[in-house]
Amino acid sequence: MGIRTVVQSKAALLCAVMVIQFGLFETGLRLKGGTEAAPEFQRLFTPDSTLGYRLKAGASARLKTADFDTRITINAAGVRDREVGPKAPGERRIVVLGDSLVMAVQVPVEETFTARLERLLNGSARPPSTYRVINAGVQGYGPVEEYLFHRDVTSALRPDIVILGLYAGNDAVEAANAGFRLRGGENRGEPDRPGALDRFTQWRRRMIRRSLVLQVARLRITTLFDRFGWRPEIDPPLRTYLHDAPPGIDTGLAVTRDVVSRLAALTSSQDARLVLLLLPARFQVDDEDYARLKAIVARSGQTLERDRATERFKAALAGLDVPVLDALPPLREASRQSRVFMESTAHFTPYGHEVMARIVAGFLLDSGMTGGQDR
């Protein structure tokens, strides 16, 4: 047997062993649970030809980590909320669209800001008026999916007010990546064929999202590069905050503006009002987190501007005649008393949800959008 054959057979055996071990570790990590990639959590989702995926009606899962232990149940309408029955006389419905910050799997459903908002509004409602606030947040959605989700799912719930939660962190990036879904749904004339590199990147990201082993490996490599001060690319949630944002950000903001226009037209056609809720990233509120990320970005030769993404969203959405509620200033104020974002994830703490509910309730009541049915 030649040397080359020996080397090849050794390499093949080593690869085979490592592939088998990959499967074993993947299985072990999934069985251990405690992450969103765990099979139990993934059962909350079902494939969808328009949206990529959506919440599966009637599904239920427990997510247990070192920081929280919650039961997540999807109702018959396909959102993380209690069942929504027929609209009662005097009932005003509010649908809150958004991503993981709105869905909030880190806290029990009754502690989410949408549930707290409902209680606050009902506390100030003049009988027989009542409010029903529906949490329509879906993990991983961006503005495009949120609009399509409302169009296809939650608009049937006949809301009077639709709140679109826009996360300044990564919504521009996600809108840019998902713009094709708008064309696929309503503008089939335009072909959408990403290049080979884009297709590879999308495939790579899909694989990493599906595999716990790859997710951890990516995290380790990023940590290692961070410590070495070398970062091949800025994380997507930070790109909208860069002084010199990459071109994709402008595209994403334009797509977001397009989405908001469409959503405004849709809600208007259903006699509903649309409100935009701008949600900040954790480091916009947390000084320590900001200092850490600023240093990381600086090592890549770029400048992180703390509120730049919020400003960019405001500028992009100006002139659409849709009210915008910026949650940053009141959250920043509230963070002086206690943490509004969790330490282990960039999601709201129960206190953060309480503050958010007060912010939104105050805005709705002060702006008269509730229709004067309040005390």
Partner 1 sequence: MVFNSLHFVAFFFVVYGVYRLLPHKGQNWLLLVGSYYFYASWDWRFLGLLVASTIVDYSSGRLLNRFNDHRRRTLVLIASLTFNLAMLGFFKYFNFFADNLQVVLAVIGWRPDMFTLKVLLPIGISFYTFITMSYVIDVYRRQIDPTRSLLDFAVFVAYFPHLVAGPILRASVLLPQIASPRSASAAQVAEGLWLILWGYFKKMFVADNLAQVVNQVFASGGLPSGLAIVLGTVAFAFQIYGDFSGYTDIARGTSKLLGIELNVNFRFPYFVRTPQEFWAHWHISLSDWLRDYLFLPISYALSRRLDGVRWLGQGDEFWIYSGATIITMLLGGLWHGAAWTFVLWGAYQGLLLVIFRYAAGDRRKRRRRGSLTQWTFQWKDLPAVLLMFSLTCYGWLIFRAESWSQIVLLTGRLFTSFSPSWEVLANVGLPLLVYAGPLLVIHVAEARRGDLNAVPAWPRLARYAVYGAIVYAIVLFGDFEGSEFIYFQF
For partner 1, the closer of residues 217 and 265 by Cβ is 217
For partner 1, the closer of residues 216 and 346 by Cβ is 216
* Torsion, CA 24, CA 25, CA 30, CA 34, rounded to 10: 160
Stretch that binds partner 1, among 11-19, 89-97, 263-271, 295-303 (CB under 8 A): 11-19
> x-or-dash pattern for partner 1, window 179-218, by CB under 8 A?
----------------------------------x--xx-
CB atoms within 10 A of CB 116: 21
Asked whether the beta carbons of 125 and 361 are under 8 A apart, the reply is no
Tell me, rounded to whole angstroms, the distance of Cα 270 from its chain centroid: 25
3 state SS of 330: helix
Does 228 interact with partner 1 (rule: CB under 8 A)? Answer: yes
Q: From the CB of 9, what's the least distance to partner 1, in Å?
A: 10
For partner 1, the closer of residues 214 and 254 by Cβ is 214
CA dist 36 and 312 (Å) reads 30
CA angle in degrees (0–180, nearest 5) for 83-86-90: 110
- By the 10 Å C-beta count (0-12 exposed, 13-18 middle, 19+ buried), 289 is classed as middle
Q: From the CB of 25, what's the least distance to partner 1, in Å?
A: 5
Residue whose token pair is 């506390």: 123
Question: Rounded to 5 degrees, what are φ and ψ at 306?
Answer: -55, -45
Q: Among 7, 76, 224, 298, which residue interacts with partner 1 (rule: CB under 8 A)? A: 224
Rounded (10°) angle between helices 3-32 and 212-228? 100
Tell me, rounded to whole angstroms, the distance of Cα 295 from its chain centroid: 25
- Using only C-alpha atoms, the chain has a radius of gyration, in whole angstroms, of 22
Which is nearest to 260 in space by CA: 360, 147, 125?
147
Stretch that binds partner 1, among 15-23, 128-136, 187-195, 270-278 (CB under 8 A): 15-23
Q: Among 7, 8, 17, 198, which residue interacts with partner 1 (rule: CB under 8 A)? A: 17
Q: From the CB of 28, what's the least distance to partner 1, in Å?
A: 9
DSSP state letters, 277-334: EEE--GGGT-HHHHHHHHHHHHHTT--B-TTHHHHHHHHHHTTS---EEE-HHHHHHH
For partner 1, the closer of residues 219 and 291 by Cβ is 219
How many binding residues for partner 1 (CB under 8 A)?
A: 19
Q: Among 7, 8, 21, 298, which residue interacts with partner 1 (rule: CB under 8 A)? A: 21
Q: From the CB of 300, what's the least distance to partner 1, in Å?
A: 15
Q: From the CB of 339, what's the least distance to partner 1, in Å?
A: 22
Q: Among 7, 13, 57, 291, which residue interacts with partner 1 (rule: CB under 8 A)? A: 13
Residue type, 109: V
Does 235 interact with partner 1 (rule: CB under 8 A)? Answer: no
Residue whose token pair is 């089939």: 188
For partner 1, the closer of residues 17 and 265 by Cβ is 17
For partner 1, the closer of residues 66 and 196 by Cβ is 66
Q: Among 62, 199, 204, 220, which residue interacts with partner 1 (rule: CB under 8 A)? A: 220
Asked whether the beta carbons of 264 and 274 are under 8 A apart, the reply is yes
For partner 1, the closer of residues 16 and 265 by Cβ is 16
Structure tokens belonging to residue 119: 């209680």
User: Applying CB under 8 A, which residues contact partner 1?
Assistant: 10, 13-14, 17-18, 21-22, 25, 29, 213, 216-217, 220, 223-225, 227-228, 230
